[in-house]
Amino acid sequence: MAVYQVLEVPDQLLRSRAKPVKNINNGVLRLVDNMIETMYEADGVGLAAPQIGVLRRVIVFDIGQGPMELINPEIIHQEGEQVGLEGCLSVPGTHGQVKRAHRVVVQGLNRQGESVSLEGEELTARVLQHEIDHLDGILYTDRAEWVKRNGRK
């Protein structure tokens, strides 16, 4: 496996919309595995393909229950509201307060190409929304009520 360099702002690829994956082949599976390795190496809880310069709709995450991956993820339902702190591997040295849905239902494909639906609340919902935003060129700082950089708001 390989560890990719995580792009950081102001890299314009982070503002690009990712394209759907049409075929899940060995290259896509290698991408998913390498993204998981990169996420762990960077000590993150989630990673989207655009963060490593690959404009495909692929996300990986691990909130303590083992690695998960979704290909072509789409939020099909959201409800409630939560406000909490977020950071991002692509915006190092910052964190901010972001309002997100409390609960989401996301549909996508697993590595076998099967349609899967994933429900998440609280942290899981936050991570899913954060990573799917990356697929649309949206950073958490775009949604933040405030951002703290190096100890200053």
Give 7-47 pLDDT, tens digit per residue.
999 999 999 999 999 999 999 999 999 999 999 999 999 99
Name which of 74, 77, 40, 71 is nearest 58 in CA terms.
71
- What pLDDT is attached to residue 1? 76
Domain encompassing residue 71: 12-149
Partners of 118 in beta bridges: 106
27 belongs to a structural domain:
yes
List the CATH number of the domain containing 96: 3.90.45.10
| Per annotation, catalytic residue among 79, 119, 131, 145 | 131
- Which of 143, 150, 134 is closest to 99 using CA atoms? 143
Residue 7: inside a domain: no
The answer to the question of residue 4 being in a domain is no
- Look up 114 and say whether it is catalytic: no
pLDDT tens digits, one per residue of 92-107: 999 999 999 999 999 9
Torsion, Cα of 115, 118, 124, 126 (10° steps): 70
pTM assigned to the model: 0.95
Does the residue 5 lie in any domain? no
Q: State whether the Cα torsion 46-50-53-56 is positive or negative.
A: positive
User: What pLDDT, on a 0 to 100 scale, did the predictor assign at position 151?
Assistant: 55
Q: How many domains does the chain have?
A: 1
